[in-house]
Amino acid sequence: MGLKALVGTEVATEIEAQIPQSVISSDATGVLVESRSIAGAMRFLKDNPEFDFNYLNNLTAVDYYEYFEVVYNLTSMKNKQTLQIKTRVCSRENPEIPSVSNLWRGADYQEREVFDLMGIRFSGHPDLRRIALWEGFEGHPQRKDFL
Amino acid sequence: MALKTELVTLNMGPHHPSTHGVFRMRVTLDGEMVREVEPVFGYLHRGLEKLAEGRTYTQIIPFTDRLDYVSSMQCNWGYCLAVEKMAGIEVTERAEYIRVIVSELQRIINHTLAIGFFISDLGAMQTPLLLAWREREKLVDLFEMICGQRLLYNYVRIGGVSHDLPPEFMPALEKFMEEFPFYMSEFEDLLKGNEIVRARTIGTGAISAEKAISYSMSGPCLRAAGVDWDLRRDNPYGIYDRFKFNVATGTNGDNWDRYRVRIEESMQSYSIVQQAMSQIPEGPVMVKVPNLLRLPEGDAYAAIEAPKGEQGFYIVSDGSIAPYRWHVRSPDFINLGALREMTVGSMIADLIATLASIDICLGSVDR
């Protein structure tokens, strides 16, 4: 009873078979994917009936000094399973990754929040601007080097 | 002579009696029709996620109170669930039952507030609101008996709950449980068949099931659209798998369905509290947890079915006494993403009703 958290290593082989050289690593809890392949990997996870991840629970980012890690939590309502996918963005001056808001509209506000507080740009986002802080605010407060 | 018309951009809020907090909308109107809605918020952004990086895991619990401040017990529990999942802490039986009882009572509190304000925004002024709040007042008094607070409880802690139920709590709860069904039927008689409520809410603010899933909506908003998804049943946490309850769903995802789903959920919460009251054992309510708790390195995401939807917490730990990253997945922040979809093309009066039916709490939206 309950949702099954998919083992990252098993999912990684499927993603790698679909999109070669996209998976960096995986462990029991999730998969780490290359930032330039994230849009393709997400589309595969959403459309493939074995995975069928139709619901995006959570989209957030963490600042690890050398890189930013963007974390996605997905749920498949039909297959009753969950998965955690991560990707890394290595630039601090100009971090940018593809947006997934065309796959799940719920990513819209969450990506705006990540842009506002962490400064990561999402290419392909329909309306990327600050959401919690006011226009004209300088800086990205959630970063570790802000204050 | 042709009448010259033009679009008017109106600003609603942040100080506004119908926006449920400091919430602002830039609405572009063509007469009474809404052509464009742009929600603007962040007026209550306190930087809680950044503040949490400098505080111990126990010190963060009062922050969770202040997220969704009308359902503090649930936010406390969601956070403690994520921490206990990472630390591998198991809670005592009595504490699990107490958590369920206070969470379901909290759900009734939240829904009476949400329905009260929703009907009030339809124009019924404050009468249904205060009628709903008569029951909320009894529940809030019960919570004051347990933890001394009426709104921000800081009661559910890592490892259990902070205080045991005092001896006068159960008799008072039984008295409330006797009176509640009559109150609910009285409330229903006044409003369910009311022509104005039906005319204003049936068919307005509708969203389809596919769009609701795509917008990552959760809670009553998702269930009213016809999606049968409730984390208490589909991904049970605590001891929810021991209780029998129905999950209320709607069909059209309009304001009327969201109102009905909340009423039905309140009755189901009543039933869960009854079952918990009959099963609750004696025993301790807190396990031994170190004062300066350290979580093992790693990260975890855990979510509960809060009254507003899926309240999730994502914690990253680097092995120290404070989290490296603390993120809150707010249900109403994400539900608001669908506001534009639900209201463009309708009248401005429907916009007010739809915003009220989503049930936002700015503490949770802005953090």
Q: Do A131 and B327 touch (CB under 8 A)?
A: no
Give the separation between CA B105 and CA B112, rounded to whole angstroms: 11
Give strand pairing partners of A25: A32
How much is the pLDDT for B22? 87
For residue B143, report the phi and psi dihedrals to the nearest 5 degrees. Answer: -65, -35
What residues of chain A lie within 8 A of the CB of B236, using their CB?
A: 1-2
Span A4-94: which CATH code? 3.30.460.80
Closest CB from A55, A62, A133 relative to B42: A133
8 A C-beta contact, residue B208 and residue B343 = no
Report the candidate in A117, A38, A75 with the shortest Cα–Cα distance to residue B217.
A75
Q: Which residue type does A94 have?
A: N
Q: Do B45 and A105 touch (CB under 8 A)?
A: no
Segments of chain B scoring below 70 in pLDDT: none
What residues of chain B lie within 8 A of the CB of A71, using their CB?
A: 299, 301, 314
User: Residue range A122-147: average pLDDT?
Assistant: 87
Q: Do B301 and A73 touch (CB under 8 A)?
A: yes
Which chain B residue is nearest to residue A63, measuring alpha carbons? B325
Token pair recorded at residue A50? 């074995």
H helices of chain A, where? 8-18, 38-47, 107-118
What residues of chain A lie within 8 A of the CB of B316, using their CB?
A: 62
Which chain A residue is nearest to residue B236, measuring alpha carbons? A2
At A8-66, the pLDDT tens digits run 888 888 888 888 878 888 888 888 888 888 888 888 888 888 888 999 999 999 998 88
Token pair recorded at residue A33? 């994917």
For residue A58, report the phi and psi dihedrals to the nearest 5 degrees. Answer: -150, 140
Which chain B residue is nearest to residue A65, measuring alpha carbons? B324
Q: Give the closest-approach CA distance of B179 to chain A in angstroms.
A: 35
At B197-234, the pLDDT tens digits run 899 899 888 899 999 999 999 999 999 999 999 999 98
Q: Do A142 and B241 touch (CB under 8 A)?
A: no
Give the separation between CA B10 and CA B6, rounded to whole angstroms: 13
How much is the pLDDT for B84? 92
pTM of the model: 0.92
How much is the pLDDT for B203? 86
How much is the pLDDT for B128? 85
How much is the pLDDT for B272? 93
What residues of chain A lie within 8 A of the CB of B334, using their CB?
A: 106, 109-110
Task: Report percent pLDDT > 70 for chain A.
Answer: 99
How much is the pLDDT for B326? 93
Asked if A79 is an interface residue toward chain B (Cβ–Cβ < 8 A), one would say: no
pLDDT, averaged across chain A: 87
Give the separation between CA A64 and CA A79, rounded to whole angstroms: 33
8 A C-beta contact, residue A39 and residue A85 = no
Asked if A110 is an interface residue toward chain B (Cβ–Cβ < 8 A), one would say: yes
DSSP state of B54: G
How much is the pLDDT for A1? 64
Question: For an interface test with A, which of B208, B244, B325 has the most A Cβ atoms less than 10 Å from its Cβ?
Answer: B325
Name the CATH architecture for the domain at B8-366: Orthogonal Bundle (1.10)
At B59-92, the pLDDT tens digits run 999 999 998 889 999 999 999 999 999 999 999 9
Q: Do B336 and A60 touch (CB under 8 A)?
A: no
Q: A54 in helix, strand or coil?
A: coil
The rounded Cα A72 to chain-centroid distance in angstroms is 4
Q: Which residue type does B347 have?
A: M
Token pair recorded at residue B14? 């942040």
How much is the pLDDT for B328? 93
Q: Do B333 and A108 touch (CB under 8 A)?
A: no
User: Residue range A82-97: average pLDDT?
Assistant: 89
If 0-12 CB within 10 Å is exposed, 13-18 middle and 19+ buried, where does residue A21 land?
Answer: exposed
Please determine, for residue A71, whether its predicted confidence score (pLDDT) is greater than 80: yes
Q: Give the closest-approach CA distance of A80 to chain B in angstroms.
A: 8
How much is the pLDDT for B35? 92
Residues 34-53, chain A, touching B (beta carbon < 8 A): none
Report the candidate in B367, B357, B283 with the shortest Cα–Cα distance to residue B330.
B367
Tell me the count of A-B CB pairs closer than 8 A.
83
